[in-house]
């Protein structure tokens, strides 16, 4: 059974800092990995999707990497802003088009 | 382009009462998902539809939960009767096809008293 772990569970940083969120998964037989953002009381917003054949994806200040063989992904946020404060969820897609989520990292960026 | 629409946004009911949630996916998306999210956890898949066919309902508690997707567009998730442990956020998502990027609705927050 696929298990996804996210570290740290919570992170508080001052504005402007670069930061890294970590995601690990137990079964490397994945189709893709997706990073989401969730604001309090809201649904999930897709940030980046990395196919299993890819190593990384970039969107603006966000960069996600994937090392399938070691079962790891990182989400790098450059020059963090207070508006980046949210919970960040990592999810891997395995056979049957099923997404398995981690429990998320709650990020607070202080002005 | 409109995103995934869900209603209601909030629902409070007494235990043993029935409840239903509605989802309208993004236009043209063939695949629709219902997820359950407990506080402080990631979403867990309940059911996945390909058009009008439920292709993965292995994690749906079928004794009290049911779902339908008539005509392969809108979908309804029902709980009857609701239990205290059903209090959670119910999220609907859609994708163009399976194994594609999923887009989520705002969710329905259910409180069972």
Structure tokens at A24: 């690990």
Residue B91: predicted pLDDT? 96
Task: Provide the shortest C-alpha distance from residue A34 to chain B (in Å).
Answer: 8
| Calpha distance B32→B19 (Å, rounded) | 20
pLDDT of A96 > 80? The answer is: no
CB within 8 A of B66, min separation 6: which ones? B77, B78, B80
A36 inside 8 A of chain B by CB? yes
Radius of gyration in angstroms for the set of CA atoms belonging to chain A, rounded to a whole number: 13
Report whether A44 contacts A27 (CB < 8 A): no
Distance from CA of A66 to the nearest CA of B (A): 16
Tens-place pLDDT, residues A36-81: 999 988 889 999 999 999 999 999 999 999 999 999 999 999 999 9
- In tens, the pLDDT along B65-95 reads 999 998 889 999 999 999 999 999 999 999 9
Question: For residue B1, what pLDDT is reported?
Answer: 64
Which of chain B's residues have a Cβ under 8 Å away from the Cβ of A99?
Answer: 33, 43, 45, 102
Phi, psi torsion values for B51, nearest 5 degrees: 55, -125
């Amino acid at each position: 059974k696929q298990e996804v772990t996210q570290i740290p569970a919570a992170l508080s940083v001052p504005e402007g800092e670069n930061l890294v969120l970590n995601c690990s998964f137990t079964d490397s037989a994945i189709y893709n990995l997706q990073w989401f953002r969730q604001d309090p009381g809201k649904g999930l917003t897709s940030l980046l999707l990395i196919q299993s054949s890819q190593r990384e994806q970039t969107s603006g200040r966000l960069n996600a990497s994937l090392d399938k063989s070691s079962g790891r992904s990182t989400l790098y946020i450059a020059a963090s802003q207070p508006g980046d404060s949210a919970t960040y969820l990592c999810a891997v897609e395995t056979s049957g088009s099923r997404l398995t989520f981690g429990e998320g990292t709650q990020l607070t960026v202080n002005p | 382009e409109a995103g995934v629409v869900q209603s209601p946004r909030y629902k409070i009911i007494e235990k043993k009462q029935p409840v239903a949630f509605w989802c309208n996916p993004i236009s043209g998306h063939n695949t629709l998902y219902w997820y359950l999210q407990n506080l402080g956890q990631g979403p867990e898949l309940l059911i996945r539809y390909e058009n009008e066919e439920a292709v993965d309902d292995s994690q749906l508690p079928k004794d009290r939960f049911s779902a339908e997707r008539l005509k392969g567009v809108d979908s309804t998730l029902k709980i009857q009767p609701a239990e205290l442990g059903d209090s959670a956020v119910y999220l609907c998502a859609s994708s163009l096809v399976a194994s594609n990027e999923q887009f989520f609705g705002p969710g329905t927050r259910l409180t069972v008293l």
